Chains A and B, each alone.
Chain A
Amino acid sequence: MPDLWLLTYSFIAAAVCAAVGCIATCLRGHSPNRVRASGLHLQVLCGFVVGIVAGLAVQGVVPAVPPVTGLDRWLLIGFPLLLSADAFGARWLSIPSSGLLRLSAAAVAAPIILYGSIHFEAVPAVPLLPGLTAGGLFTVIAVGCLLVTMTALNDHSATEHPLLAAAFVVLTLQVAAATVMLGGWIRGGAAALPFAGSCTGILLASPGLRNPLAAVLVIRWGVWSLCGVVLLGHFFGRLSVLQSLLLLAAAVTGPLLTLPTRRIAVRFRATIRCILTLLLLALVLIPAILQFLARMKPLLSEWSAWTKLPGS
């Protein structure tokens, strides 16, 4: 069973360190509203990374070097690659080029997560695509497309209600973490909480930054974090396809609503988004809790045995 206090401390530590790190780096030189967007991007990124590291440290999560598990690869290669591509693009590239770089990094992250697992079986005999079976290739392409789509959708409409959208991404991330834990992979779900905590910390610090960019970045990084925990939970844990798709859909209800219904007033879109997101999350979380209780029943059989004792 997970230590709920430890998970709470981990979340709070990530939030506090991210907020403090973010504000400290932003206020180090100039007033935040005088800093260029690319500079602010890097400063918020510093706070975000500090928060994640602090949260993982509280849990005692130390990825193996060289990475051997999916979680190790995500923490050490996949997620840093996405953040680096994002930071590089923001600093040195034009907006379209940086978007393209983000999409490319998202596509590359898929094989990194699955490498060496039964989903990506390595057979050294094949020189060009080392050992990728047809099924493995399909999985990698499908997951790559999914990550690219999620990134593109959020880039498309991140400017609409950024604070609300960011708050929903954080909520979805927490529900995903809980669902992975309820499915039986405690460490996998727990490792997602520092990401959620760090996003929360930046959101709390964003009024001090006086720049909407922070919320936009939280949406982008939060969606990547969510993709990571969902993919890991599905391919290595017990997150079903339906649960995974519902969680990912919950994170992109805003962009999905924006695509076909631009004519709906913005405030109505926000209301519909709230209802739709909460509904999707409830559809994931409630069955997961019920399944967990049903699965735990035989493991807690010693309690029911008391009632069957003669004379009890």
Chain B
Amino acid sequence: MLISRITFLTALLFVCGETASAAPADEYVYDAVHSSVSFKARHLDLSWIHGRFNEVDGRFSIDRQDASKSSFQLTIKADSVDTANAARDEHLRQPDYFDTKQFPTIEFRSKKVKSIEGGYEVTGDFTMHGVTREITIRLMGGREIESRGVRRVGFSTELRLKRSDYKFDPSAIGAIGDEAIVIIDCEGMSK
């Protein structure tokens, strides 16, 4: 009887201890007002054309104790491409480029997160134009502040992608360079 009580108490203490140490990860949603996903690509190898995606959604889950339990997701609506020229934007939506009717979104889903100095190294699946490739990005930032009752966290990263890796039409790679630099600056909000 005594042994069974000791066993029960030990189990209870163990469960309580586990609950106390496993604090749930902080959940954030992408703040579209204070974030941007922009890109630039070479034109005739002379200068850069800049553009951005106006409709982006995302979620982050950040575990401050154990970075490997964190996760990052970002979904970009390809139709929202904006290069400050309506005719060019319309062309970019067509199958010669993003083919937004067939591939409406560009997505990133993290698979592995590692803490590094000043941020996180995130490995995940990046899907664009129907092709999924594993990429690793360095998300710099992660400092959290509270503003008007809302907790905010911010990250920045820059990645280089080759359009040919994502099976873009090779004949559309010429005047506009193959490589595009994507710049992501985002804030996450949490209550």
What is the interface of chain A, defined by CB distance below 8 A to chain B? 60, 64, 68-71, 116-119, 183-188, 235-238, 295-296, 298-299
Contact = CB atoms under 8 A, between A and B. Distances in A.
B95 to A, nearest CB: 5
A181 to B, nearest CB: 10
Contacts of A298: 85-87
B87 A60 contact: no
A69 B102 CA distance: 7
A129 B86 CA distance: 37
Interface in B90-112: 90-91, 94-96, 99, 101-102, 104
Contacts of A188: 94-96
Given A187-B96, A237-B95, A238-B94, A68 B102 contact: yes
Question: Interface majority SS on B: helix, strand, loop or mixed?
Answer: loop
A296 to B, nearest CB: 7
Given A60-B171, A185-B94, A235-B101, 11 more contacts: A68-B167, A70-B95, A70-B101, A116-B102, A118-B101, A119-B101, A184-B90, A185-B95, A186-B172, A295-B87, A295-B90
Contacts of B94: 183-185, 188, 236-238
A236 B130 contact: no
Contacts of A71: 95
B169 A187 contact: yes
B130 A68 contact: yes
A128 B163 CA distance: 37
Interface in B62-103: 85-88, 90-91, 94-96, 99, 101-102
A299 B102 contact: no
Nearest to A1: B175
Contacts of A299: 85, 87-88
B118 interface: no
Contacts of B99: 69, 236
B24 interface: no
Contacts of A187: 95-96, 169, 171-172
Contacts of B104: 118
Given A64-B167, A296-B87, A299-B87, A184 B96 contact: yes
A247 to B, nearest CB: 18
Contacts of A70: 95, 101-102
Contacts of A237: 94-95
Given A60-B170, A116-B102, A236-B101, A69 B95 contact: yes
Given A60-B170, A188-B95, A236 B102 contact: yes
A117 B169 contact: no
Contacts of A64: 167
Contacts of A68: 102, 130, 167
A167 B189 CA distance: 63
A7 to B, nearest CB: 12
Nearest to A70: B102
Given A68-B102, A116-B102, A118-B104, A186 B85 contact: no
Nearest to B88: A299
A299 B88 CA distance: 7
8 contacts: A69-B99, A70-B95, A70-B102, A187-B95, A187-B169, A236-B94, A237-B94, A298-B85
A-B CB proximity, top 7 nearest = A295-B87, A185-B94, A184-B91, A68-B130, A184-B94, A117-B102, A236-B101
A81 to B, nearest CB: 20
A70 B95 CA distance: 9
A218 B73 CA distance: 51
Interface string B130-170: 10000000000000000000000000000000000001011
A185 B96 contact: yes
Contacts of A185: 94-96
A299 B43 CA distance: 13
B31 to A, nearest CB: 27
A232 B139 CA distance: 40
Contacts of A119: 101
A33 B95 CA distance: 45
A236 B94 CA distance: 7
A261 B96 CA distance: 44
A238 B95 contact: no
B149 to A, nearest CB: 37
Nearest to A59: B171
